[in-house]
């Protein structure tokens, strides 16, 4: 009996605090609540938050949900890795409160309606997931090779077919390259990894890679297909003289390619991947809360690794349901926080976002109503 009373009291206090918070928002002065009530809110969050979208960040979402739900036992967060297109479509239908996507909103999408948001308000978006894509290869005794963009494009377009090709040898003095044919492995399923990788090839070597950024591999370029990241990695591992591209966290013991940026060769690393996002321009003509970024694959910024996959977190600036606004604020703040990014990096091996990007994202989150 005593326990039940206690429980009731806690629930009542929770409702009061939440109501107080909602009242604050109507006056549009979220800071007026003061520090004490802010912390109280965090402790008593409750409700369900539904999201869906990119499968690329599914592993990270799992880590985030686990950590967030431990800190906030009253909150249930669901993330359904349906794929970016389906995820955005569900957000447009109002089925989800937030979404994760490998590509930013298209202009025509922003012209549409968002049933979860207050009418006439646009959604925000910012990069939340930066994942370097490693070019992996399997050659006995060689763990790293230098290549410029045109060479990588030539290999994957089927024009460079031997490992001792002059273009590879010239960039790797001192390395004895075997006289072995190259088997280029690509994704047999449609994937954002392929799209970002070919976007890089098309940007740095447009006269070699002529088909642009694509998700489905063109038949005329040949090569070998593997299903999913695991399929590509196992094909590269199982063959000899194979080369492929995969999420860097899965590169394992395979050899990796350092690509030419400016006059240097840069190997993939978390810092190098985050650096290219900071060095890339935002899409022009977007609102201040829209951090859609055009990754500059031709960047010459030193220490930047241009083959990255960037996924966005998206949500409403002004939710119809104010309780969702409270939850999304707490959830998104956790995702961009150093702690959240580190939690994902530990379990999924992605690259944490930079401090500069974190500050910009947090400003957007603080304005969610």
Tell me the closest approach of the beta carbon of residue 235 to other proteins, in angstroms. 5
**Angle (CA) 196 261 355, round 5°:** 70
Smallest gap, in angstroms, from Cβ of residue 114 to other proteins? 18
Q: Residue 2 contacts by C-beta under 8 Å, 6 or more apart in sequence? A: none
What is the per-residue burial (b if ≥16 Cβ within 10 Å, else e) of 59-74?
Answer: bbbebbbebbeeebee
CB of 214 to other proteins, least distance (A): 9
Instruction: Give the nearer residue to other proteins in terms of CB position, either 137 or 305.
Output: 137
Nearer Cβ to other proteins (60/87): 87
Beta carbon of residue 238, minimum distance to other proteins (angstroms, whole number):
5
Contact positions toward other proteins, by CB under 8 A?
55, 82-86, 89, 181, 183, 185, 188-192, 215-217, 219, 222-227, 231, 234-235, 238-242
Geometric angle at alpha carbon 252, from 249 and 253, rounded to 5° = 155
Distance in angstroms (rounded) separating the CA atoms of residues 286 and 365: 17
Number of residues that this document lists for the chain:
369
Give the shortest CB-140-to-other proteins separation in angstroms. 13
Give the nearer residue to other proteins in terms of CB position, either 75 or 155. 155
- Residue position matching structure tokens 């241009």: 306
- Which tokens in the block code for residue 65? 């949900």
Q: Which is closer to other proteins, CB of 58 or CB of 267?
A: 58
Q: Which of 113, 86, 111 is nearest to 101 (CA)?
A: 86
Kindly state the smallest distance separating residue 220's Cβ from other proteins, in Å. 9
With b for 16 or more beta-carbon neighbours within 10 A and e for fewer, the 277-309 pattern comes to bbbbeeeeebeebbbbbebbbebebeebbbbbb
CB nearer other proteins, residue 234 or residue 269: 234
Instruction: Report angle CA 28, 16, 115 to the nearest 5 degrees.
Output: 50
**Nearer CB in complex with other proteins: 159/190:** 190
CA 61 to chain centre: 11
Strands 47-53 and 98-101: parallel
For the bound state, the minimum distance from the C-beta of residue 14 to other proteins, rounded and expressed in Å, comes to 39
Cβ proximity to other proteins, 235 vs 275, nearer residue: 235
């Amino acid at each position: 009996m005593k326990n039940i009373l206690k429980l009731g009291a806690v629930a009542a206090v929770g409702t009061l605090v939440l109501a107080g918070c909602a009242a604050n928002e109507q006056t549009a002065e979220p800071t007026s609540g003061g520090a004490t009530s802010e912390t109280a809110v965090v402790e008593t969050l409750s409700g369900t938050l539904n999201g869906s979208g990119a499968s690329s960040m599914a592993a990270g979402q799992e880590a985030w949900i686990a950590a967030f739900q431990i800190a906030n036992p009253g909150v249930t967060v669901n993330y359904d890795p349906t794929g970016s297109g389906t995820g955005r479509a569900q957000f447009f239908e109002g089925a989800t409160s937030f979404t994760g996507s490998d590509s930013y909103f298209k202009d025509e999408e922003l012209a549409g309606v968002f049933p979860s948001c207050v009418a006439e308000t646009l959604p925000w978006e910012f990069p939340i997931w930066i994942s370097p894509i490693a070019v992996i290869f399997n050659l006995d005794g060689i763990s790293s090779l230098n290549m410029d963009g045109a060479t990588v494009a030539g290999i994957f377009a089927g024009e460079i077919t031997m490992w001792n090709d002059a273009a590879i040898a010239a960039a790797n003095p001192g390395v004895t390259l075997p006289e072995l044919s190259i088997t280029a492995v690509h994704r047999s399923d449609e994937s954002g990894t392929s799209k970002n990788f070919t976007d890089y090839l098309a940007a740095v070597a447009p006269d070699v890679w002529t088909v642009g950024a694509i998700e489905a591999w063109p038949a005329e370029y040949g090569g070998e297909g593997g299903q999913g990241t695991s399929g590509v990695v196992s094909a590269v591992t199982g063959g000899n003289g194979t080369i492929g591209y995969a999420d860097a966290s899965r590169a394992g013991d395979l050899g990796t390619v350092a690509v030419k940026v400016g006059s240097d060769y840069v190997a993939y690393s978390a810092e190098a991947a985050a650096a290219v996002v900071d060095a890339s321009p935002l899409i022009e003509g977007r609102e201040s809360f829209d951090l859609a970024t055009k990754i500059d694959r031709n960047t010459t910024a030193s220490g930047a690794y241009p083959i990255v996959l960037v996924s966005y977190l998206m949500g409403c600036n002004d939710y119809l349901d104010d309780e969702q606004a409270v939850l999304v604020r707490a959830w998104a703040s956790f995702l961009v926080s150093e702690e959240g990014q580190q939690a994902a990096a530990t379990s999924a091996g992605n690259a944490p976002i930079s401090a500069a990007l974190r500050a910009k994202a947090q400003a957007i989150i603080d304005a969610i109503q």
